[in-house]
Structure 1
Amino acid sequence: MCSKTTQNQSSGSGSVSKQSSDWREEAINGGSLRHVDLHHGSNGWASPPGDLFSLRSKNYFTRKQKSPSGDWLLKPAGFDWLRSTSKLDNVLARPDNRVAHALRKAQSLNRSQKAFIFAVNIQVPGREHHSAVFYFATEDPIPPGSLFYRFIHGDDAFRNQRFKIVNRIVKGPWIVKAAVGNYAACLLGKALTCSYHRGSNYLEIDVDIGSSAIANAILRLALGYVTAVNIDMGFLVEAQAEEELPEKLLGAVRVCQMEMSSATFVEASPSPENATGPVAAVSKRGLGLSKWNETKMVHVALRFWCWTDAYAFTCYIVVRWWVDGDESDGNGAMP
């Protein structure tokens, strides 16, 4: 059920801006997890500033320097914590998706006609399938020729070589920070199976945690221990050429001591043909994962679930020892 949006009665450019943001406010405040205070919230989510993330700077390829990202390219537009009897794919194409519904409602009033939604759907396998769906949006057209424009319109291979997550532990037991570390990055398309769903006004990336046997096994140990840690996650398109620098975050989210029981149950995903909006393209990459890529994905999986169980961390330490070295900045999955 979508919450009602307050109508703005003022006039002028301020009114247009407020009306354009109304649908995002509805989406932000309408999920099962609350939008909470960045520093003190729990069982919810918040929007960390981009400066908390160190990304490749303008002179990265000559000096290997990183710098704070600065503002996000996209604005937060909600977070859904969902569960279902089967894996949820292409959630933005579902007629009951509340974020897409909020935008459609705004557009029916001749607002936000150029809005674009970018969503990342982290799919977690189990007896019940869970999805953590992060939504970001812009009201402005994506500049043609920009790295993000090329990512949206690019092919499967390009996206898998570029889609990156950066994450950091904000709050948690000392054993979390000692074993996992405070900061890491991963090219998700190299580590897991990613499916790309392109609609007329959105791009959704479905990231299948179950495609990695190692990450999946450790997650099974971790599922009961998700309430002790706050974690920041940022999403970006990796810069791999001088002219693409500096890197910029597309968007970022802080998950604050999330409880599994807070997930909203939804029916198995309907086919895209039954959705309200057209789906322009769907692409998928199935991986025969190497030991390197599987191990690197463990970093992301464990940071996402942030458990506090000593046995699980022992398993993680063994897996880290299995790979010679912690992070690389070459062609591996942890640049």
Structure 2
Amino acid sequence: MPARGDVPNTIKLLSELERSWSMFTATWKAVDLFAGMHIWQEQDRSETSSSGASTSEPLNGMFLSTASAGLVAFIAATIGGGGVVVAVLLSVLVVFGTVWTMTGVRARRDVPCFKVLKPIDGTPSEVFLYLMNINNYAVWDASIERASVIHTIDDHSDIIHVVYRPVWIWPFWVTPRDVCLLRYWRRTEDGSYVICVQSTVHPECPPTHSVVRAKCNGGGFIIAPRNQVTAQPDELTSMVTHVVHLDPSGWEGQLLKRFNMVYAFLRPQVLALCGLQEVMEARKYVCPNISEEFATATAHAEEMVASMSGNPHGDNANDANGGGSANASPLKELPTSVPRAMWAEPDSGAMLVRGPDYLTDRRKVPSAPPAFRLVGVDLFQSNKAIEHIAGRPDNIIQQELKRHDAEGTEMPFTFVINFVVPGSPRLNLVLYYQTPHASVLQDGSPFAELMNDFLDGTDEFRNERFKLIPCIVEGSFIVRQAVGSTPAIIGKKLRQPYFRGRQYFELDVDIASSAVANRVVGLVTGYTKKLVIDMGFLVEGQRADELPERLFAQRSLIRLDCPLGNSPSPPQKPHSYDKKDYGYGYGKKDHGYDKKDYGCSYGYGYDKDHGYGKKDYGYGYGYGDKDYGYGHGGYGKGYDKGYDSYGHGYSKYDSYGYGY
């Protein structure tokens, strides 16, 4: 393998080599038509100067020659007194020998190259990113059994291993083939993308006995944008050219070449663009969440049964996992700070998870729709790292709990993921997910059992199981290379505290706890306005009874504007916890809290709760007739010099306040 420092020269040499590839230099002729798509075959140089009639002469001559030889052999054997059986056997041998001799020229020729062109929905960058994701190969290409990346060389090249399915060609199945490919790509000045593949060798990808190692003589994809002159504003399509130049190899490959059956073998690969078109076009449509509709129907049925039995609230008790009552309210989006246009839920089928037999066959399958739905995204700045965001009195979760209490309903169980991003200022990206109904956690499925184990388990168990699947859908090569697309158990690398409250569970991801993650996120933060980032969350199944896996949540951030977040919920000031930002002791004016409920000089928290972070901040209470306020968990210094009618306890140390 070339050294990393030699990669630019290697890519330059490969680009020079492309000039001799049939992919770029061949003359083509149409050989088939499928669903309105022409299939083109490389035209042999000897055919370029001849007519179509003359090209059929060798075939006619072979037919006449073999028929004549067989007839002569049959007559000779009959006259010689050998009998009919001997005559037939001799004729067959003569015909076979004649065909084998006359097809020897074709067997010595190179395997022809095949090409198809098809318009695909999506911009060139979208199509390119989808094609580059190795996990998508088996989704859109029916000829591929599995594919994997063996070695990443640099930002523009890697080594991949592809295993093809067996092909039926009457009267037998052709043994499966595999290839070890050098894949490299580039973007041209006109906005096109070129992906090239050719066979190579790699110590981590040796040939095996179960499949035949085929040889790729140079193929790939060319993804071209529309002509800007003729393109319509709403037409986001790309012209994709797929070139297949694969030698089947082996004794079966020799037979395929002799009898002109190579195209029949390669046809599933050639028609793979039809699958790509279907996948890309399907992304334009809404994916119906059948599981959610089924859960809602089940809930209505439970309500009817409960009402008929005289138990209007059902038999299930409420719990912190969202064990719901019959009056649980339907899901609706929360009034969070990030605009709706900047977040969405991607197609879950594009993310592969462990299948039901993964422990034996190591096969991954598309995930079922997520059990939790994304209902809101918050992004805001602060001067200190904020954890347990859902427990803050001003957070949307606490506000929703109060609203549901006032309406006599129950807030759906909410899973909160809080990414604490270091920097100046610090950022908090908060994702809110809710269950459409409690049944998704109570239906006895492997997902429900594993999810309950996660919610009720220890932090060690959670750290070993919480898995993140990243995917940069749209962005630069640098960011895509830095982030990657490999699933990760982030609890093994980052500090990941957990918090549980009434009808919610919060998981915080402390990016600052890892220097590597800090650098990667710092790189991504500078490109967020140009990125489309998909991310899936799941609990890893490690036992047979925990499979298949299922995403419990996912999200797509679309060109997120990081500076937009200044405060989690206006009209309050930014939650910086800076003593200069808050006046201590006059809660009604500075903090807007009800004078009857709060008398603490710091202005945070309920009168019994002492707010959040009681170990970090002391609250000097102005209640009672004692002449000083003490800080719960803090220093509690700063004597009161009097009380007003509201009991707010003015501090003579106004610039410092209590608890510091």
Structure 1: how far apart are the matches of 2:359 and 2:512? 34
Larger Rg: 2
Task: Compute the RMSD of aligned alpha carbons.
Answer: 3.1
Match of 2:340 among 17, 35, 42: 35
Question: Does 2:485 align with 1:183?
Answer: yes
Alignment of 1:1-335 (within 5 A): 20-21=329-330, 24-25=332-333, 27=334, 30-36=335-341, 44-112=342-410, 115-138=412-435, 139-140=437-438, 142-143=441-442, 146-177=449-480, 179-180=481-482, 183-265=485-567, 266-268=574-576, 274=605
Structure 2: how far apart are the matches of 1:101 and 1:79? 15
Task: Give yes or no for contact 1:56–1:66 (8 Å, CA) kept in 2.
Answer: yes
Task: Give yes or no for contact 2:469–2:535 (8 Å, CA) kept in 1.
Answer: yes
Unaligned runs of 5+ in 1: 1-12, 37-43, 283-335
- What is the CA-CA distance between 1:171 and the residue it aligns to? 1.3
Name the SS for the 1:146 alignment partner: helix
Cα pair distance change 1:211/1:31, threshold 3 Å: same
Partner of 2:263: none
Letter in 1 for 2:382: S
Cα pair distance change 1:207/1:176, threshold 3 Å: closer
- CA deviations 1:158-193 (Å, max 9, x no partner) are 00000111111211234544x247622110110100
Cα pair distance change 1:276/1:160, threshold 3 Å: farther
- What is the CA-CA distance between 1:221 and the residue it aligns to? 4.5
- What is the CA-CA distance between 1:100 and the residue it aligns to? 3.6
TM-score, normalised to structure 1's length?
A: 0.68
Letter in 1 for 2:432: Y
- What is the CA-CA distance between 1:59 and the residue it aligns to? 0.9
Cα pair distance change 1:62/1:229, threshold 3 Å: same
TM-score, normalised to structure 2's length?
A: 0.36
Task: Give yes or no for contact 1:124–1:130 (8 Å, CA) kept in 2.
Answer: yes
Name the SS for the 2:462 alignment partner: helix
Cα pair distance change 1:182/1:263, threshold 3 Å: same
Name the SS for the 2:368 alignment partner: coil
Letter in 1 for 2:497: S
Task: Give yes or no for contact 1:73–1:249 (8 Å, CA) kept in 2.
Answer: yes
Letter in 1 for 2:329: S
Cα pair distance change 1:181/1:193, threshold 3 Å: closer
Greater length-normalized contact order (CA 8 Å, ≥ 6 residues apart) = 1
Structure 1: how far apart are the matches of 2:365 and 2:607? 42
Structure 1: how far apart are the matches of 2:509 and 2:346? 22
Task: Give yes or no for contact 1:192–1:212 (8 Å, CA) kept in 2.
Answer: yes
Task: Give yes or no for contact 1:168–1:182 (8 Å, CA) kept in 2.
Answer: yes
- CA deviations 1:250-309 (Å, max 9, x no partner) are 1110011111111132314799x937999xxx9xxxxxxxxxxxxxxxxxxxxxxxxxxx
Structure 1: how far apart are the matches of 2:406 and 2:358? 45
Task: Give yes or no for contact 1:83–1:130 (8 Å, CA) kept in 2.
Answer: yes
Letter in 2 for 1:130: L
Cα pair distance change 1:122/1:34, threshold 3 Å: same
Letter in 2 for 1:162: R
Task: Give yes or no for contact 2:534–2:556 (8 Å, CA) kept in 1.
Answer: yes
Cα pair distance change 1:63/1:73, threshold 3 Å: same
Letter in 1 for 2:368: G
Letter in 1 for 2:402: R
Structure 2: how far apart are the matches of 1:110 and 1:277? 24
Task: Give yes or no for contact 2:483–2:520 (8 Å, CA) kept in 1.
Answer: no
- CA deviations 1:61-93 (Å, max 9, x no partner) are 111111111211112221111211111110110
Task: Give yes or no for contact 1:236–1:248 (8 Å, CA) kept in 2.
Answer: yes
Cα pair distance change 1:276/1:190, threshold 3 Å: farther
Structure 1: how far apart are the matches of 2:372 and 2:468? 15
- What is the CA-CA distance between 1:31 and the residue it aligns to? 1.9
Name the SS for the 1:243 alignment partner: helix
Structure 2: how far apart are the matches of 1:181 and 1:154? 29
Task: Give yes or no for contact 2:420–2:509 (8 Å, CA) kept in 1.
Answer: yes
Name the SS for the 2:359 alignment partner: helix
- What is the CA-CA distance between 1:106 and the residue it aligns to? 2.2
Cα pair distance change 1:214/1:176, threshold 3 Å: closer
Partner of 2:16: none
Name the SS for the 1:112 alignment partner: coil
- What is the CA-CA distance between 1:225 and the residue it aligns to? 2.2
Name which of structure 1's ranges 139-148 and 129-138 shifts more when overlaid on structure 2. 139-148
Task: Give yes or no for contact 2:348–2:370 (8 Å, CA) kept in 1.
Answer: yes
Structure 2: how far apart are the matches of 1:189 and 1:163? 7
Task: Give yes or no for contact 1:200–1:277 (8 Å, CA) kept in 2.
Answer: no
Task: Give yes or no for contact 2:327–2:410 (8 Å, CA) kept in 1.
Answer: no
Moved over 6 A (4+): 16-19, 275-278
- What is the CA-CA distance between 1:19 and the residue it aligns to? 7.9
Structure 2: how far apart are the matches of 1:277 and 1:21? 32
Structure 1: how far apart are the matches of 2:490 and 2:535? 13
